[in-house]
């Protein structure tokens, strides 16, 4: 049996509406309420990110002379748009986690600080792999991606805290919370993975053009590898801890030791179904396969190294 430090807890997740039985009046579907302020804020963040990235790309001295600049600038603008949107999405996921149970800031802040420090530490390595072709624009684009990833990273740290310390409440609310955390975790991986993909493609689009030092293909490989490692450092331990918390929940509330022999088959069937729902049978390799999205930029970088863009 898996033993964690504190008891599992509860969730404030709103239950799904009951399906109407035959002859009963159908229940109305729940309304999704999104405030106008939240939609406006996310739109503003997207536009600000896109405008900032385009402004950085506009400073390239080969702006009007290189046809490849247009593709590069378009990808840079798209990176800014996605980064701005990721801030809004990350904040929304953070709020979802806190609705399950409030997480003290002091449990989240150290993880975010370590993420930022690791991201900053990658810059000296970038200078080694990229050489003289490393420019302030490349650092700025990396910074745009990192800023967009921070809220999602904070949400991942909050999930890690809940998985480690547990949530409070009766079993039903615990289960609802665990299911919600699984769903949020998947969405956060998509947010972070998309940023890594875009920063890798942006570096690939900068190959083999420009009047200054040529960007080497190692820059594409490094961008994919560094982004993959940073996201993996946040995602994989969190996913593993959440899986252990789910295992502990199943062991605690669906223990087979005291089940009468006549009810054993039914109890086993219920336990197996719950394990499938909570995905507790995933191994570390399974988590890595689930995180294939964050590995794909490294593969794309290797492909670009073999087939450099013209």
Express each pLDDT in 185-236 by its tens digit. Answer: 989 988 998 899 899 889 888 888 877 778 888 888 888 888 888 988 888 8
Distance of CA 301 to the CA centre of its chain: 20
HEC string of the chain equals: CCCCCCCCCCCCCCCCCCCCCCCCCCCCCCCCCCCHHHHHHHHHHHHHHHHHHHHHHHCCCCCCCCCHHHHHHHHHHHHHHHHHHHHHHHHHHHHHHHHHCCCCHHHHHHHHHHHHHHHHHHHHHHHHHHHHHCCHHHHHHHHHHHHHHHHHHHHHHHHHHHHHHCCCCCHHHHHHHHHHHHHHHHHHHHHHHHHHHHHHHHHHHCECCCCCCCECHHHHHHHHHHHHHHHHHHHHHHHHHHHHHHHHHHHHHCCCCCCCHHHHHHHHHHHHHHHHHHCCCCCHHHHHHHCHHHHHHHHHHHHHHHCCCC
* pLDDT given at position 141: 93
Query: What sign has the CA pseudo-torsion 223, 227, 228, 230?
Result: positive
**Is the separation of the CB atoms in 190 and 144 below 8 Å?**
no
* pLDDT given at position 180: 93
* pLDDT given at position 295: 54
Stretches in the chain below the pLDDT threshold 50: 1-17, 19-20, 306, 309-310
* pLDDT given at position 26: 57
* pLDDT given at position 112: 92
The CA-based diameter of the chain, rounded to the nearest angstrom, is: 80
Q: Which of 83, 113, 136, 115 is nearest to 226 (CA)?
A: 115
**Is the separation of the CB atoms in 228 and 236 below 8 Å?**
no
């Amino acid at each position: 049996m898996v033993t964690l430090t504190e008891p599992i807890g509860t969730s404030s997740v709103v239950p799904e509406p009951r399906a109407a039985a035959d002859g009963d009046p159908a229940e109305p579907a729940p309304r999704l309420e999104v405030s106008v302020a939240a939609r406006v804020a996310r739109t503003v963040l997207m536009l600000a990110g896109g405008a900032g990235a385009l402004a950085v790309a506009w400073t390239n001295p080969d702006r009007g002379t290189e046809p490849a600049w247009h593709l590069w600038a378009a990808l840079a603008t798209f990176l800014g748009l996605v980064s701005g949107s990721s801030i809004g999405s990350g904040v929304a996921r953070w709020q979802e986690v806190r609705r399950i149970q409030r997480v003290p800031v002091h449990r989240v802040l150290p993880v975010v600080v370590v993420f930022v420090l690791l991201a900053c530490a990658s810059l000296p390595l970038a200078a080694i792999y990229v050489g003289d072709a490393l420019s302030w624009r490349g650092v700025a684009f990396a910074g745009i991606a990192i800023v967009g990833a921070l809220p999602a990273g904070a949400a991942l740290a909050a999930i890690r805290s809940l998985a480690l310390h547990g949530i409070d409440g009766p079993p039903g609310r615990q289960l609802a919370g665990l299911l919600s955390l699984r769903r949020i975790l998947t969405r956060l991986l998509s947010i972070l993975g998309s940023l890594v993909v875009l920063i890798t493609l942006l570096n690939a689009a900068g190959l083999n053009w420009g009047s200054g030092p040529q960007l080497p293909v190692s820059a594409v490989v490094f961008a994919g590898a560094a982004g993959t490692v940073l996201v993996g450092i946040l995602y994989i331990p969190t996913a593993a801890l959440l899986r252990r918390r789910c295992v502990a929940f199943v062991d605690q509330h669906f223990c087979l030791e005291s089940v009468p022999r006549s009810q054993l088959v039914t109890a086993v069937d219920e336990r197996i179904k719950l394990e499938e729902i909570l995905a507790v049978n995933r191994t570390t390799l399974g988590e890595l396969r689930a995180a294939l999205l964050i590995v794909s930029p490294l593969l794309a970088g290797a492909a670009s190294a073999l087939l450099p863009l013209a």
